[in-house]
Structure 1
């Protein structure tokens, strides 16, 4: 079931009953990247999967990542109705979730940050600048192969042609301006000095072979958070919940309960 949140500005799908669990998707994907795990999560939680601002039917918001985080805080408060919420963010969704909890400390009771971080290395920043530049000059089509490589290893792509066709189509539906703004925001982002203020328990998980947000970023993130634990998901890349759903669920289920 879809519903509109935050005064009609955020579109979200909702499944199941129980405590609210929000799932924030990555930049190179969409909310469908959670479809393989939502049925299982929906047996214990009210799983709420929003389209982040500028994606799908959710309205664009001006003001960078902070404004995106504020909009999502409004959506979480709206959907949760004051109940303690767990927020799980993958990739870009993880950066949004972390920024949201920094700016709104009481918004979540627990946080799962999957394949995310607090700041990129200089090569990582340059990669975002290059994707923004090339997409501006030549369109999203020109960076689709790069985007897919950041999501999945070549071997996985070769073994799952149907899944990859869907992922490419989803990426090409992204609003180019929203994509470039997010790339530029991530290229400048550095939340490391604010991690000590995050008081809720945090599970940091990362795919062993993630090239978009490499495991050292998750090690640094977990080390900077007061109440964090880190899990590496073997054999996976940037979207482990799509690549190996049961393995991802096994990694997070104990923490969610």
Structure 2
């Protein structure tokens, strides 16, 4: 995970809004923590965002994903980055997008992030799952546009 963050950081050389889904949300949060002066807004979609999801009703996706992707690097499956204690440091506006039918990152995860992030807004898509960026692309784009228009 640290290598991915290190790869992203040089790209944040001007005002930036990371938009991240699932595991990418951890990379985006880590990058925002390291470059808060350059991250103007943040969009997190069905991610852990760096909180422990086990107590929030999340289904463990790793065994099935590992079986379907046998060449996947171990770090992807083993990563348990916990950024809970640092989320209050993020003072940029954060848009949280969740589906209420996502067993991998249930709404309770989005609600927990909304509690921990000082300027977070949670939007829940009824009936949407972990792929809500694809299944609800037009609505997601509209919410992101509105989010970016906010200061």
SS at match of 2:130: coil
The farther-off stretch of 118-127 and 240-249 is: 118-127
Question: In the alignment, which of 82, 87, 92 is matched to residue 200 of structure 1?
Answer: 92
- Residue in 1 aligned with 2:38? 107
Partner secondary structure for residue 176 of structure 1 = coil
CA offset at residue 113 of structure 1? 0.6
State the secondary structure of the residue aligned to 1:204: strand
| Counterpart position of 2:10 | 74
1:121 matches 2:54: yes
Taking only aligned residues, the RMSD between alpha carbons, in angstroms, comes to 2.2
| Unaligned runs of at least 5 residues, structure 1 | 1-64, 142-174
* 1:149-228 mapped onto 2 (5 Å cutoff): 176-177=72-73, 180-185=74-79, 188-228=80-120
Q: If the length of structure 2 is used for normalisation, what is the TM-score?
A: 0.84
- What CA distance in whole angstroms lies between the structure 1 residues aligned with 2:144 and 2:132? 11
CA contact (8 A) 1:233 1:248 kept: no
Q: Which has the higher contact order (CA 8 A, sep 6+)?
A: 2
Give, in angstroms, the shift of residue 251 of structure 1.
2.7
Structure 1 residues 139 and 227, CA gap change in structure 2 (3 angstroms): closer
Counterpart for residue 256 of structure 1:
148
Structure 2: runs of 5+ lacking an equivalent: none
Q: 1:101-147 CA distances to partner (integer Å, 9 max, x unpaired)?
A: 1122223111011111332215748543x357xx3xx5627xxxxxx
Query: Which portions of structure 1, spanning 4 or more consecutive aligned residues, are displaced by more than 4 angstroms?
Result: 122-127
Aligned residues: 146
